[in-house]
Structures are given as structure tokens and as C-alpha cells.
Amino acid sequence: MTISSGLGQRVLTFPNMGENLVEAKKYRADKSRAYREGFDEFVKTAVRVNIAGKQYLAHNNVNLYVDMTQACNADCNFCIAKVNFTRNSKPINTEFLNKALDALSDVKPSVQITGGEPTLFPTQLKRLVDTVNERKPKRPVINTNGTNLLECTKFIADSKIEHVNISRHHYNETNNNKVMEFRGPGITNNYLAEAIAPIKERVRVQCNFLDGEIDTYGEVMQFIAYCYHKLNVRNVAFAQLTPLPDDSFYAPSIIKVIKDAPVDVDAILARVDTDSRFQFEKYRGGVACYYEVWKFLAYEEPMTIIFKYSDNQWLEKADADPLLLPDLVLHTDGTLAGSWCKDRKFLTKFD
């Protein structure tokens, strides 16, 4: 593997990535090993960068999350954006993204626009997308529950946005709306399918494993069929709820929800292993995650299916080091930080 960084190109071999299912199963059985080796890899490959006059060590593929707004028309009890510090419902000053990219000229991060729900403010979202079109950062992404996606489709379709990640946690719209606790009628499957149609090649549907909802192999198969036939989407990611440290900046309510509702994802993958319609592609361990990528070949067009595990205690470990920057976050108030907590690892603030 060749890593290109500010330190030049280096050929590095990492044990926590590969295309061998036998090796993947070893990491699946010992996720802590994947997280530990992912963290060690980050430390070894981190690139020295200058931000606001100070030196840091950034992940060589560091991402800039743009926390566009706290406002959301859903109230998922497992939402990782529930924190114990202040965020703004008013959408972020869109010029902050330009200023952040200027400040991060040494870093050249990828960009992910998130929230809250970005599509609640189509005009401001378009301005952020216009900045992406102009500045051309790596792998720009939007995270959304699809609320006003139909209104945003035109400018997204004509943009440099590479992926649109849509949160959907059940194939039955009534169940999904209950799980996500939408204020109002929620989002129907028909609306979502219509909204996705012009950008379907860029869409990934993201589903959290939730006890009593999508929590078995059979439910996974139903969800895959729903994405293919109803939404006409070929890219689906299933994720284990991320364990969160008790003594961090997350709201106690979400920490309790995650602890009280575990799903046996290993058992689901054990069934996938023996299903000839699935073809294993690769595995990867990161700073706080482990994931497997599979192809599902039962339909006329192949689907990409991702199964992801994560554990935020490893991000906490990175947060504890004042120099390490696994992620960058542009917070709603204009604070640029090296942490999801705007009061930690402060880099600079824009006015």
C-alpha cells in the first residue's frame, strides 16, 4: 500500500486490512485488535500539519465534518449528535467553510456536511455545495434523513458531491418514522424514492442495527430487498450502534440506549458467510472502526453491502493527545476543532 503525504510517498503494509475472509473473521472475533491496530496505524502514518500557527499530527485521510445545524425534524434516541455542549439550530454561516479550507491548506481534508438535518435549510445547503464545487475538496459527502431532498436534488445532481448518505432504519415507513421519532408525518418511501431518483448512483442508505427492528439476518435481507426494489439504490451500509464512554461529552440518554439495546451483528455476518449470494470483497480496521465490504449478487445489478462496527473509546484516546487529529469538525458557531467536542482541541474560530 502506498501512502502519499506531506512526508512523501511510503510503502506500508498494514495487518488490519485485506481481501481474505479467513483473516477478516479473526478481526471480527476480536474487534479490539482491529481498533488498536487502526489507532497504531494512524499514529505511524500521521502527517505533520500547520493549523492557525500550531503544529499537529493529522490523519493522512483526515475528514472535515461541517456541523451545519443542530436543528432536526427527527429525535432518534440513538443519535450520536446528542451532546452536552451547546450547538446552534440556526444554520452555520456558509462562509465558514471557505475560511476553514483556507486554514486547512496544509491538510487538504475531505468534507462531510452533516447535522442535525442539512436539508431543512436548502438555501444554506446550496451555498455550502457551491463552495464545494468551487474549492473541490476530496470526497465531499452530505448526510441527511431525506426530508427536503427533492428540493435539493437539482443542485446536488449538478454538483461535485460524491455521496449522499441517507439515514433509514427500517423498510416499513411506519416503523422507520417511529424509530426516528419524526415531528410531523415523517418521510414516506414513495417520497424518498422520487427524491433519490436523479442522484441514485451517489446514494448510500445507512441503517443502524436496532434491537426489535433491523436486528436479524432475515431483517437484513428484507432491508436489502427494499433498497434495491423500492428505492433503486445499490449501496447499503449496516452499522452497529457505537459504544460511547460514560465520562465523555455525549448525553447520558444516548449512552444508556446504546448499552440497553445490543444486536448480535456477528451472528448476522455468520449467516452472510454461508450465503452464496454474498461475495466477500475486503475488510478494514480504522482508528475506531472495523468494517467488511461485500457484494450481493442475487439481483440483475450487484449491490455493495457494508457491515460496520465502531467503538468511540478509541476516538477518546486520540482526543486525549493534544497533537493527534483523526477528525476535524467545523462546529455551528464557527469553531474549528480537532474533536467532536468544540471545547476540546480548539484550533481556531471564525467570525
Average pLDDT, stretch 41-58? Answer: 92
| Residues ≥6 apart with Cβ < 8 Å to 315 | 287, 288, 326, 327, 340
pTM: 0.92
Q: What is the mean pLDDT of residues 65-91?
A: 87
Q: In angstroms, rounded to a whole number, what is the distance separating the alpha carbons of residues 277 and 293?
A: 14
C-beta atoms surrounding 13 within 10 Å: 7
Which three-class secondary structure state does DSSP give residue 212?
coil
When pLDDT is averaged across residues 203-230 and rounded to a whole number, the result is: 97
Average pLDDT over residues 186-212: 96
Mind listing the pLDDT tens digit for each residue in 129-159? 999 999 999 999 999 999 999 999 999 999 9
Looking at residue 196, its pLDDT comes to 96
pLDDT tens for 9-40 read 333 456 788 999 999 999 999 999 999 999 99
Q: Where are the beta strands (DSSP E) in the chain?
A: 2-5, 8-11, 17-18, 47-51, 54-67, 110-114, 138-144, 163-167, 203-208, 235-239, 278-285, 289-296, 303-310, 324-330, 335-337, 346-349
Nearest alpha carbon to residue 271 among 237, 220, 321: 220
User: Is residue 331 a contact partner of residue 342, using CB atoms and an 8 Å limit?
Assistant: yes
Per-residue pLDDT tens digits for 256-290:
888 887 899 999 999 999 999 999 999 999 888 99
Assess if CATH 3.20.20.70 describes domain 2-349: yes
Instruction: Determine the pLDDT at residue 11.
Output: 37
Lowest mean pLDDT among 46-60, 109-123, 213-227: 46-60
| Closest by Cα among 10, 11, 27 to 19 | 27
Helix (H, G, I), strand (E, B) or coil at 239: strand
Q: What is the pLDDT of residue 79?
A: 85
Domain residue spans of the chain: 2-349
Q: Is the dihedral of CA 259, 143, 119, 116 positive or negative?
A: positive
DSSP 312: T
pLDDT at 1 over 70: no
pLDDT of residue 14: 65
**Mean pLDDT confidence for 56-69:** 93
Torsion, Cα of 149, 65, 78, 293 (10° steps): 80
Peptide bond into 116 cis (omega under 30): yes
Q: How far apart are CA 175 and CA 197, in angstroms?
A: 23
> In the predicted model, what is the mean pLDDT of residues 166-186?
93
Return the percentage of the chain with pLDDT > 70, whole number.
Answer: 96
Q: Checking phi first, is residue 212 left (phi over 0); if not, alpha (psi -120 to 50) or beta?
A: left
Sign of CA dihedral 127, 132, 134, 135: positive
